[in-house]
Structure 1
Amino acid sequence: MAKGVFLHRPGSIYDDLPHERYHFPARYLKSVERTVGDWIVYNELLGGKGSSGYSAIAKVDRVQPDPKQPSLYFAYMEPGSYLGFEKFVPYRTGNRFMESRLSTGTNKPSGYVQSAVREVSDEDFFRICHRGNPLEDELPRFDADDDDNAPSDGVREQPQPFIFDEDRQRFKQILSRPIRKKIFRNSVIHAYDKHCAFTGMQFINGGGRAEVQAAHIKPVEHSGPDHIQNGIALSGTIHWMFDRGLISLSNDFDILVSRQVNDTERVWQLMSPTRKATVPESPKLQPHPAFLEWHRRNCFKS
């Protein structure tokens, strides 16, 4: 087994769904097979100068041929293993590269960077995780089921000397459910600028914390991932209604209200006057249609 880096370009010709599968050509088969049972980090290439970096991790479960295209394969991720980074990690700072094998002593990477799938050392992998999940101090309020006794140091916000054993232990900590919840929550709340998507309201309590919650569109208990596109920021009452299928969203972010609501007029008064949810401008932060469709099909009481 070996840890790896998988290049992911949103909008590419490949049928990637990072929390679930990675689509790749046969020439990378042996490299991908070596990652089975181990962790990979997604190197996201967004286009434009300086936009390459690392955005998430996942654990590779298995590799299977694409039944529709014989020259292509899928790497399937272990359910629940995907974790988006709280902060995007640039692949280099000056002539210092996060992946040691890319270093040339200049600000230009080695030719190895051209490989869409490449192995990465444990040291480099844990270093990337260290930078991607700082667990900032500014967090929304705890949910009632949060474990106050869970490890909470995570990965420190300020740059720290990289110590392999220490950061390997931190990596184990961020995989725990309480820490994953905090990372997911922080990412969603900041993506929505602390506003409720349905009402557009922003409430900050006396302690400076956001009175808005990070909801999973497809719940964790139904294998919903801790993926920013499976998250939406909601106020408490709206969160309750969303989880119980009384409200939902179309793929175009139109607000939907169930016919089973006993006072639809009052419910609409709570919503944004536009009757559309306010979502982040960046498509990579907006709710994914696959998760919205799951909510409408399995939760929404139409």
Structure 2
Amino acid sequence: MTKAVFTTKSASSYDDLPEVRYHFPKTYLNQVERAVGDWIVYYEPRRSSNDPASRGGAQVYFATARLVRVAPDPTRADHFFAEVEDYLQFTRPVHFREGSHFYESGLEKPDGSTNKGAFGRAVRNLSDAEYDLIWAAGFGHIIGAEPRLRLAPDIPEAPLQPIPGFSEEGSKFIYDEPLEQDRRIIEQLTSRPFRDRAFAAAVKDAYLDTCAMCGVKIINGGGRSEVQAAHIRPVEHRGPDSVRNGMALSGTFHWMFDRGLISVDDDYRLLLAKDRLPDTIDRFLGGNERLLVPKRPDLRPHPKFLAWHRSNVFKG
């Protein structure tokens, strides 16, 4: 087994749903099969679509997942699906190059420039050490290596702490304990407390610590926000820890959402089980009739997760 990088565009022509599957041509079958049973990292390229002139991609590693199997595409010859589980979005997107350090050594030429030929490959195998450095950068807030990167800069954060097993010399990152550190990382990635913290941080950042239904933002004296990170499709029903499967909700609206008293249509219109709610619900909503979604489309609730909630939870 070996780890891998999967490149996916926000407007891909492939049948990707990164939380569940990655669609790819036979060209990359060997690299993908080598990673079955191990962990992969998702990367967003510069181009946001297949149009050579398109731009807008963030050029960042943005999530990780465990690759569980590869299956042929029954409708498209010489294409396959890489099926994943344990998807988890980074709390900080990681640029492929920070300073003079390339997270993937294969992307760096001897003169320090970017190897565009290697960069052009949609699937690239990754060493444990390279994966672990991306993981540490992506979850720095969760493991105590850096403060939470909020879009509200007035909120105080804890001081920086060193990452166990890592040191820094100049702009180069030195990886100290590859086997043991990688083992500890995998243990955390499958730990529910770690995943809950990472999911909550990513969702709250996407929604600016504001309830997506009532629009209220409350920060206590310690800098902690009142909103909670709610799964649309619950984890116990195979819902992924993805921002697109989440919303920031105040405690009251989280309770109502989980009990099917309120839901969301595909156009983000709020749906109320009015025969089960008091008339005063309109005052709680503050006049909002639609969900307050993130500005970035790729962070908004995905229609498949919203449809699951309406079909399986909503009592309207």
TM over 0.5: yes
Q: Is the 8 A contact 2:214 2:288 kept in 1?
A: no
Q: Is the 8 A contact 1:154 1:170 kept in 2?
A: no
The structure 1 residue matched to 2:175, chosen from 159, 162, 169, is: 162
Partner residue in 2 for 1:98: 103
Give the whole-Å Cα distance in 2 for the aligned partners of 1:50 and 1:216: 26
Q: Deviations over 1:73-92 (max 9, x none)?
A: 111113xx111101100001
Partner secondary structure for residue 197 of structure 1:
coil
Give the whole-Å Cα distance in 2 for the aligned partners of 1:210 and 1:154: 25
CA 1:174–1:34 in 2, change beyond 3 Å: closer, same or farther? closer
Distance apart, 1:102 and its partner CA: 1.2
Does residue 1:125 correspond to 2:131, yes or no? yes
Partner residue in 2 for 1:42: 42
Q: Is the 8 A contact 1:7 1:45 kept in 2?
A: yes
**Aligned runs of 1:98-247 on 2, under 5 Å?**
98-104=103-109, 105-134=111-140, 135=142, 162-165=175-178, 167-168=181-182, 169-247=184-262
Give the whole-Å Cα distance in 2 for the aligned partners of 1:11 and 1:38: 26
Unaligned segments of structure 2, at least 5 residues: 48-54, 150-160, 169-173
In percent, how many aligned pairs have the same letter?
Answer: 45
Give the whole-Å Cα distance in 2 for the aligned partners of 1:289 and 1:190: 21
Partner residue in 2 for 1:252: 267
Does residue 1:300 correspond to 2:308, yes or no? no
Moved over 6 A (4+): none
Give the whole-Å Cα distance in 2 for the aligned partners of 1:177 and 1:46: 33
Partner residue in 2 for 1:149: none
The count of corresponding residues between Structure 1 and Structure 2 is 286
Give the whole-Å Cα distance in 2 for the aligned partners of 1:154 and 1:55: 22
Name the TM-score, length of structure 1 as normaliser: 0.88
Give the whole-Å Cα distance in 2 for the aligned partners of 1:74 and 1:205: 45
Distance apart, 1:137 and its partner CA: 5.2
Q: Is the 8 A contact 2:46 2:56 kept in 1?
A: no
* One-letter amino acid of the structure 2 residue matched with residue 9 of structure 1: K
Q: Is the 8 A contact 2:45 2:57 kept in 1?
A: no
| CA root-mean-square deviation | 2.3
Q: Is the 8 A contact 1:154 1:174 kept in 2?
A: no
Partner secondary structure for residue 41 of structure 2:
strand
Give the whole-Å Cα distance in 2 for the aligned partners of 1:107 and 1:51: 19
Distance apart, 1:95 and its partner CA: 3.9
Partner secondary structure for residue 106 of structure 2:
helix
* One-letter amino acid of the structure 2 residue matched with residue 87 of structure 1: R
Name the TM-score, length of structure 2 as normaliser: 0.84
Does residue 1:280 correspond to 2:294, yes or no? yes
Give the whole-Å Cα distance in 1 for the aligned partners of 2:87 and 2:195: 10
Q: Is the 8 A contact 1:10 1:46 kept in 2?
A: no
Partner secondary structure for residue 136 of structure 2:
helix
Distance apart, 1:159 and its partner CA: 7.7
Give the whole-Å Cα distance in 1 for the aligned partners of 2:46 and 2:211: 28
Q: Is the 8 A contact 1:200 1:278 kept in 2?
A: yes
Partner residue in 1 for 2:171: none
Distance apart, 1:261 and its partner CA: 1.6
Partner secondary structure for residue 175 of structure 2:
coil
Q: Deviations over 1:29-72 (max 9, x none)?
A: 11111111111111112534882120111111111111111121
CA 1:111–1:46 in 2, change beyond 3 Å: closer, same or farther? closer
Give the whole-Å Cα distance in 1 for the aligned partners of 2:163 and 2:198: 11
* One-letter amino acid of the structure 2 residue matched with residue 129 of structure 1: W
* One-letter amino acid of the structure 2 residue matched with residue 51 of structure 1: A
Partner residue in 1 for 2:71: 64
Partner secondary structure for residue 83 of structure 2:
strand
